[in-house]
Structure 1
Amino acid sequence: MPLAPWQAAMITPAEDFDGAPFLRKEFQLAEGHGGVAWATLRATAFGVYEALINGVPVGEDVLSPGWSSYEWRLRYRSYDVTSLLGPTTVIGVSLGNGWYRGRLAWHGMSNLYGDKLGFFGQLDIEFEDGFVQSVASDSSWQSGPSGTTFNDLYDGQTIDARRNQPGWAEPGFDAGSWAGVRALEFDAGRLAEPVGPPVVRTGVVNPVKVFTSPSGKTLVDFGQNLVGWLRFTVQGEAGQSITVRHAEVLEDGELGVRPLRSAKATDTFILSGGEDFFEPTKTFHGFRYAEISGWPGTLTEDSLEAVVVHSDLERTGTFECSNELVNKLHRNIVWGLRGNFLDLPTDCPQRDERLGWTGDIAVFAPTAAFLYDVKGFLQDWLLDLAAEQKAADGLVPITVPDALKYCPQPPEFPKLESSALWSEASVWVPWALWEAYGDTTVLENQYESMASHTRRVEGLLSDTGLWDTGFQFGDWLDPDAEPDKPWDAKADTGVVATTCMFRTAYITAQTARLLGRQADAEYFEQLAARVQASFLEHYVSGDGTIHSDCTTVYALAIAFGILPSRAHVDFAGERLAELVRKNDYRVSTGFAGTPFITHALTDTGHADEAYRLLLEEGCPSWLYPVTMGATTVWERWDSVLPDGTINPGEMTSFNHYALGAVADWMHKTVGGIKPLAPGYAKVLIAPVPGQGIDWAKTSLKTPHGTIRVEWRLDDGAFHLEATVPEGVEADVVLPDGEPRTFQGGTHSFDHRIVAANLNNQGSR
């Protein structure tokens, strides 16, 4: 139904009420127009809000409207509330600081976007005769205190149940002592409908163990590192406090809080004396363990539960194989995505950061788009990226939304310019969505952003044609770097940046051609060719050695296609495999090389090395954290050292999804599902078996239907069963290298493998 024009004002309570006010509007339904045909509430806030009609939540979302680039895009949500109205109706709103006014980043700063909370909403009610009654936020609303006396996303929430006001959002409540509201200056042109889904409660996790630490603290283990909060019902003496501290790991049997840095991650609940229900929905924590003090009586596994919170995403891809450690790794990757896809793709969900780092999602987007339907989620975030970029004269910031632009940097910190791989998110993420879903909308919406970034970096190239000047993150967190020098990688930053620029120019050219921008396509193709020529002239020696001669530079050169001949590619593949073997199959790559090294090995006929790299259990490796009990992907390969102590580095998160980008190789190579056309309109089914995995099952729900691939090795026989949707053509490549094609349905294939050739099945 068409909605009435906006009549609302952004209102703020006359008093701050501890940063968590209630707002209230009671009114009568218009008479003489018949029954209510439909009613829609549209709502947004400076801060976070929860809206109720006659005491009933209007939706399942929490932490709405989330975090967008508030300066240009303030999203609102719409709710069908037809069934909630009565002759007398109350709109109730609970506000909190959220990202708008709460603490952001590690500088200790709050109020980055404003120092006043606000609510902007309108309820439109259409009656049977077509009459529309609109009730909007205005100066007639009232404001009052809630039970929350403190709330911050990093530091936690304090709820005093003695201050609860039962029925505050229902008709007949006595609000005579409540205060008023006043209007804030607000440009309604900033309002934006959300493209992505809301944040919701997606499940609960029950404790697996309640125990006492060596110092006598009561600890609860939920068995899974998750993101959300605890909720429980409890009864005790009035005024008694229960304190809950959260952390991802234990150290020496106690809560390991040092990696949280300044984030307190502490919730406090003050009892009323009656039966109290507590759920702190104005914060969130990344945790597996909770330390609980002040609990009345005996705390048991049945006393409380953890609520899992993240954006409401549909699961689309699955993977399972014969190696249980690999299965556990894959589950950890899924949990890492869930914890960090909370309204935007963050780096981590627990410490004083939780920012939308562009580098992480630049490399993880293909994995994310396989595991979940992230089309709307990432398209929404990309709109913020484009808004930030436009305001910064084409510079794609390292975090989106860019809170860091408001935070002071130390004098010695380099002035940031476009940063390879990080700023590349403006190009690589839209392209990953195009490949996954086959919808040009994202390319059309983001084209100016893509082209603007590519042109800006062109202007940063040195006289040699290389991107080798200015600060670069490079192969961030190279495992050979010192804990306090994450930038100190083996890979030359110019090599990393220049290969990234080549890939970006190539993708931008392809995008321009898809959108019919032929002049742009030719321009960016020529730019890619110039970057490639400069790379070859300055970074590739006569025998094919790439400057800095380490795994990351070869992996990127192969994966990004910057090498011009088969001879160059073959040399790079052999050298890459040699370096992997010399390092005893331990990981030697950082943020830049890790997502691409297994692809590069397999694509050059070195599947054996790729498998052994994946299956290595010594540190550093993907499976080392699994053997150490990890339930999500770590930021550092050795976030926990072999002796059980926490890595001494300042950055030590236990829930960072970026290094989990290896799942893209697991899906495509081990599982065997690759798109041959955007959106999997045509698919390549080509599992590459290797030692250590005897069978694999993979499935993917695509825009055309579900693809399933199952294969197994049995005494040298390779059996494959594949299902593709009707109307989808599949090219099947068995270990013999011969292609077969079929249309729709389920098909089985058998092939006998010569044992000596099992691990030479990488070259296509």
Structure 2
Amino acid sequence: MKDKMNSNEMFHSIRLAVTGVLLLAGTVSVARSEQPKPDVQLVNLRCEYRENPIGIDVLKPRLSWMASSEQRGVRQTAYRIQVASSSERLGSGEGDLWDTGKVSSERSTHIRYAGGKLAARQTCFWRVRVWDQNDQPCDWSPVAKWEIGLPEKSDWRGAQWIRLDTDLRKSSLAARPVQTKKMAVPDYSKTHPAPLFRNEMLVKSGLVRARAYVCGLGYSELTVNGKPTAGDAVLSPGQTTYDVRALYTTRDITGLLQEGSNAIGVMMGNGFFGQDQAFHAPKLGYGEPALLAKIVLDYADGSTEAIGTNSTWKSSTGPVVYDNVYGGETYDARLEHIGWNRPGFDDSQWRDAVTVTAPTQSVNAQMVPEIRRMETLPCQEIREGENGKWIFDIGRNIAGWARIQISAPAGTVISMEYAEVLMPDGSRLDTATTGGHATGLQQKDIYVCKGGGMETWEPRFTYHGFRYVEVEGLTERPADDFLAGVLVHTDVPRHGMFECSDALLNRIYQTSLWTIEDNIHSVIEDCPHREKCAWLGDAHAVGETAIYNYDMALFWTKFVDDIETVLGRGGVTYWGQRATPGIPCNIAVGRRLCQEARPDWGAAYILLPWCLFNYYGDTDVFTRHYDHLARWISYVNGLSEEGIVVRGYGDWCPPGGNKTMECPPNLTSTAFFYGTVRIMERFAEELGKTDDAEQYKRLAARVREAFNREFFDPETGGYGSQTADSVALRFGLASPDTAGQVGNSLRAGVVEQHQGHASVGIHGGRSLYTELCESGSEDVAFAAIRKETFPGYGYMLKKGFTTWPEVPLKYDAGKPFAHHSLNHPMQSGFAVWFHECVGGIQPASPGFKKIKLKPYGYTQLEWAKAHYESPFGKITSDWKVDANTFQWTVTIPPNTSAIVHVPTDKPEDVFEGMGTARNRNGVEAMGTKDGRALFQIGSGTYIFSSNLGT
């Protein structure tokens, strides 16, 4: 790993690691004679971030592991990896595919497989052992494995893309009105049909493995002998730019098959692939649903059979007579084909499927986690609405759908419409915030009962943003359990937690996470109803907050790859210039791209690879995209006038809306440009591109000089607004001589100009609270974030919000809400502050190999707890203040080191455990800085205590 650039020249959010005496290359250790016997276990073995994955396309995957130990100062000095073609060979010590031998290295993440050539469907078994700081080996890890999918086009031989032959729908419910605010009259149109496909096959005795590889566009559900194969996974596969690439999932169906006849059934929906109604823009769709699937059976005698989709598969329409990912779903249970996905079903009236040309250039394994049903929320209140309707409140704004259970006569039509809020009198929905004026569609699901007993139903091929559901068609008051809300989002595991003594801050933190979760559906969306679009500015605004709380590595990798699929497709710039080849669009994926990317939005193409490098130590993404990233820098440089980037959206959605934006877009665009140029300098250094690195260094110096010449005001000592000051500090644009003045200007901007309130959009929101703390005004940061008057977060919570609105507005009692979403994750970007400042957990080198721990808020809170699951293991920072004593418990995972910044005015009186810190094993005093005593520690748990003074 190359040395870091001087931190005074760099920007806080990008967190380039600091050089110098504060971060030493090694972990503090004691003499070998004092070391106990190694007690290290290897856990969490991962292949391409996943545990025992099946169906991956990477033929040279990267392997990672974590060490677990109760001892202090545990550090890896060497490793040995063995990979074998069978668990038996591995058990006997034979790594017939790859045996690294003992490799002297501290690396335990992203070690690329370099063994024998792998083939489609091959299973690889692997294990690892490491040597500790005393060159003592630990035991071998448990055996892990990975399985290759179908990485090459030739691997799909025998499977063809198929579609439904004829639309057989006759239902009057197959069409809905589309009417945007620009349309005088609605347009009634059908969606593409949602087909059913089936096929029967014989399975011999001796089956040992069966896999189904499925790419069903837009959404598909695979069943085997009538049983689902995906568990709680829904809305599969993930959204892509379909004509460029589509994703397939791999299902282990071994346990669902039986000797003899078996039935394969696939139910399909339009998803984003077949979405041609919303926005009254049919060209946004790619066509009718299409299916590519291949089932491969392996037998004990070594034989293999493959069954692929082709024209012998049978197809029909089914009970889903309408589905649109924006509008909703209509399901007529009377049209169900009972037993259609089981053996022996009479499909003589079904038509043969038709084969079609592949709708995509490539089919790739889905690596991003699947979307799943994550939570079921019971109804909190039922109220009677107008005209016999009933309104259900699930108590929280979510993304997903309603699940109902009803017993009613056949043909009973139950209509469910969704909204985030109610009209002031509470008698009906207020759908303005969910964007029907833009999409032309209302969020509505319709279920037609089949009769004969209790029926339970939920939609399959749509999702909504909502808290309230208005139900029409009931003949009496519904039971309390008639309806529940189902939350669905990409199943990114929780990797972080924060809690403190202030209940308001805990609510603000939780609301921020709910807002993110509601908008993570294989891409990060702007909102889960009106647009569902992957805007680049929204992504980089919330990128780090998401990382501190969820495992986002595969998610952001996909997002960056999505950006590549639409390069040059923007059509025009917003000032009317033709799009430039190779340049991103404002939206990362699909066909609704909203022109070529503006500089402050397109910055995501560099900021997100930086996040993957900085927080996960991942170099693959910026390596693969380097040429495109370099082209972006050149493009934005061409938009500069005397060093100032003159285009951009600006500090989007500040309180009151964009008309109240205080920071000019050219300031924030230039700041983002400077920050991304510095990142490219680092990327070039990592790749050994010394000439590029030098060019970026010179360019950054010119931009910085121009920025300060244009925007710095010597009289005020700042840049003119809260956002301007905070981004200048974030990206290191203020000089060492003026940084203190800028910090004072930022403080004054909050305290004096806005009566203690934050007044920033998404650019300033990401950095404001962190920069207040790091410039000496943590009291102002805490006071501002606690404000319960407009536009404070407490104000919005008092108004009943459970997610953050697109635009913070004053909401007058008795008046309807404005046409703005109430669920925008870009407004959660500030919440990175809970981990990086209050918890004080920051990476000091890529991937948290070296850690900086520097908490704030000990004069504001009684206690705070934070943890983060880094690539090396869990980092914890739990502190409390009692009678002017600061007590801080920190845990550092093995194979890492940290600098802890203990607040005190008497560093000689800092204790760790039962003794003074400077005399404790595994603790090395590193001096003092900014009213804190600094200590370097290795892995383990430490309890520091200090006197905070008067």
Q: TM-score, normalised by structure 1?
A: 0.92
Say yes or no: does 1:302 pair with 2:481: yes
The answer on whether the counterparts of 1:544 and 1:568 sit within 8 Å (CA) in structure 2 is: no
Q: Distance in 1 between matches of 2:320 and 2:738?
A: 64
- Tell me the alpha carbon deviations over residues 259-303 of structure 1, each in whole angstroms, 9 at most, x when there is no partner: 123231111111111232211011101111111122354313222
Q: For residue 8 of structure 1, what is the aligned residue in structure 2?
A: 159
Q: Is residue 253 of structure 2 the alignment partner of residue 81 of structure 1?
A: yes
The percent of aligned pairs where both chains have the same amino acid is 28
Partner of 1:606: 777
The SS at the match of 1:41 is strand
Q: Aligned to 1:426, which of 592, 597, 605?
A: 605
Deviations 1:599-642 (A, max 9, x none): 2211211111111111111111222212222111221122x614
Whether 2:415 is the aligned partner of 1:274: answer no
In the alignment, the residues of structure 2 paired with residue 570 and residue 210 of structure 1 have an alpha-carbon distance, to the nearest angstrom, of: 56
1:74 CA drift (Å) = 0.8
Q: Which SS does the other structure have where 1:707 is aligned?
A: strand
Q: Is the 8 A contact 1:43 1:122 kept in 2?
A: yes
Residue 630 of structure 2 aligns with which residue?
451
Write the deviation string for residues 77-121 of structure 1: whole angstroms up to 9, x where unpaired. Answer: 11111112231121111111110111476x322352423221111
Amino acid at match of 2:683: T
Retained in 1: the 8 A contact 2:869–2:875? yes
Counterpart residue number, 2:543: 365
Give the Cα–Cα distance (whole angstroms) in 2 for the partners of residues 174 and 101 of structure 1.
29
Show the counterpart of 1:127. Answer: 299
- Looking at structure 1, the residues matched to 823 and 562 of structure 2 have their Cα atoms a distance apart, in angstroms, of 24
Could you tell me which of 911, 930, 933 is aligned with 1:738? 933
Does structure 1 conserve the Cα–Cα contact (< 8 Å) formed by 2:586 and 2:596? no
Amino acid at match of 1:231: R
- Contact 2:194–2:322 at 8 Å: present in 1 too? no
For residues 358-416 of structure 1, the C-alpha deviation after alignment (integer angstroms, 9 at most, x for no partner) is 101112111101100011011112111012126562322111114224x8xxxxxxxx5
Query: Paired residues, what number?
Result: 730
Taking the TM superposition and a 5 Å limit, the aligned residue runs for 1:618-697 are 618-638=789-809, 641-643=811-813, 645-648=815-818, 650=819, 652-689=820-857, 692-697=860-865
Distance 1:420 1:370 in 2: 26
Q: Deviations over 1:416-461 (max 9, x none)?
A: 5441321111011111122211122222233233222112111221
Question: For residues 281 and 27 of structure 1, what CA distance do their matches in structure 2 show?
Answer: 24
Taking structure 1 as reference, are residues 418 and 292 closer, same or farther at Cα in structure 2, changes over 3 Å only?
closer
Residue in structure 1 matched with residue 892 of structure 2 by the alignment: 724
Q: What is the rounded CA distance, in whole Å, between the counterparts of 1:313 and 1:385 in structure 2?
A: 20
Question: Does the CA contact (< 8 Å) of 1:24 and 1:90 recur in 2?
Answer: no
Pairwise CA distance, 1:216: 5.9
Letter in 2 for 1:719: Q
Note the C-alpha offset of 1:644.
5.9
Q: Which residue of 1 aligns with 2:559?
A: 381
User: What are structure 1's unaligned runs of at least 5 residues?
Assistant: 408-415, 756-764
Does residue 752 (structure 1) correspond to residue 947 (structure 2)? The answer is yes
Matched, 1:400 2:570: no
Which residue among 148, 163, 168 is the counterpart of 2:340?
168
Alignment check: 8 A CA contact 2:240 2:590 kept: no
Q: Relative to 1, partners in 2 of residues 1:646 and 1:636: Cα closer, same or farther, differing over 3 Å? A: farther
Partner of 1:411: none
Aligned-partner SS, 1:421: helix
Q: Give distance in 1, aligned partners of 2:659 and 2:694.
A: 35
Report the 3-state secondary structure (helix = DSSP H, G, I; strand = E; otherwise coil) of the residue aligned with 2:757.
Answer: coil
Q: Which residue in the other structure is 1:95 paired with?
A: 268
Whether 1:477 and 2:635 are equivalent positions in the alignment is no
Q: Between Structure 1 and Structure 2, whose CA radius of gyration is higher?
A: 2
Structure-2 separation of matches of 1:154 and 1:387: 23
Partner of 1:257: 431
Aligned residue in 2 for 1:554: 725
Calculate the aligned-residue CA RMSD, in Å. Answer: 2.0
Q: Tell me if structure 2 keeps the 8 A contact 1:210–1:300.
A: no
Unaligned runs of 5+ in 2: 1-120, 123-149, 170-191, 570-579, 905-931
> SS where residue 196 of structure 1 aligns?
coil
Contact (CA 8 Å) 2:161, 2:309: kept in 1 or not?
Answer: yes
1:29 is paired with a residue whose SS is strand
Alignment of 1:340-355 (within 5 A): 340-351=519-530, 353-355=531-533
Q: What secondary structure does 1:349 align onto?
A: coil
Whether contact under 8 Å (1:55, 1:170) holds in the other structure is yes
1:326 counterpart (502, 505, 508): 505
Letter of the 2:690 partner, please give it.
Q
SS in 1 for 2:598: coil
Give the match's secondary structure for 2:459.
coil
Secondary structure of 1:342's match?
A: coil
Instruction: Please tell me whether the aligned partners of residues 568 and 585 of structure 2 are also in contact (alpha carbons under 8 angstroms).
Output: no
User: Aligned pair 1:715/2:883, yes or no?
Assistant: yes
Classify 1:215/1:329 alpha carbon distance in 2 versus 1 (closer, same or farther; 3 Å): farther
Cα distance in 1 for residues equivalent to 2:821 and 2:794? 17
Change (3 A) 1:162 1:214: closer
Match of 1:156 in 2: 328
After superposition, the Cα gap between the structure-2 partners of 1:344 and 1:417, relative to the gap in structure 1 and judged at 3 Å, is closer
Q: Is the 8 A contact 1:476 1:488 kept in 2?
A: no
Most deviating of 52-61 and 316-325: 52-61
2:739 equivalent to 1:569: yes
Query: Do the aligned residues in 1 keep the contact of 2:197 with 2:266 (CA within 8 Å)?
Result: yes
Q: CA deviation at 1:30?
A: 5.7
Task: Give 1:163 deviation, angstroms.
Answer: 0.7
Show the counterpart of 1:186: 358
> What residue is the counterpart of 2:750 in the other structure?
580
In structure 2, how many angstroms separate the alpha carbons of the residues matched to 1:291 and 1:14? 37
- Between the aligned partners of 2:903 and 2:622, the Cα distance in structure 1 is 36
What is the rounded CA distance, in whole Å, between the counterparts of 1:401 and 1:379 in structure 2?
A: 13
Distance (Å, rounded) in 2 between the aligned partners of 1:183 and 1:515: 46
State the distance in 1 between where 2:472 and 2:836 align.
Answer: 48
CA distance 1:134–1:214, change in 2 (3 Å): closer
Q: Distance in 2 between matches of 1:383 and 1:222?
A: 36
Question: Per the alignment, do residues 241 and 646 of structure 1 end up closer, same or farther by CA in structure 2, a change over 3 Å counting?
Answer: same
Q: Which amino acid aligns with 1:162?
A: R
CA distance in 2, matches of 1:315, 1:17: 45
Structure 1 residue 480: Cα displacement: 4.5
Please give the alpha-carbon distance, in whole angstroms, between the structure 2 residues aligned to 1:332 and 1:174: 51
Q: Are residues 644 and 664 of structure 1, via their aligned partners in 2, closer, same or farther at CA, if it must alter by over 3 Å? A: farther
**How much does 1:308 deviate?**
1.3
Distance 1:104 1:489 in 2: 34
SS in 1 for 2:878: strand
Q: Which amino acid in the other structure matches residue 364 of structure 1?
A: V
Q: Amino acid of the residue matched to residue 343 of structure 1?
A: S
Q: Secondary structure at the match of 2:797?
A: helix
Task: Report the 3-state secondary structure (helix = DSSP H, G, I; strand = E; otherwise coil) of the residue aligned with 1:362.
Answer: helix
Residue in 2 that maps onto 1:496: 668
Structure-1 residue corresponding to 2:680:
508
Counterpart of 2:228? 57
Q: For residue 26 of structure 1, what is the amino acid of its counterpart?
A: N
- Letter aligned with residue 440 of structure 1: T
2-structure distance, mates of 1:530, 1:646: 50
**Residue 30 to residue 204, structure 1, CA distance change in 2 (3 Å):** closer
Would you say the 8 A contact 1:23–1:141 is kept in 2? no
**CA 1:475/1:616 → structure 2, altered by over 3 Å: closer, same or farther?**
same
290, 311, 316: which is aligned to 1:139?
311
| 2:681–2:694 Cα contact (<8 Å) kept | yes
Matched, 1:197 2:369: yes
The CA distance in 1 between the partners of 2:787 and 2:510, in whole Å, is: 18
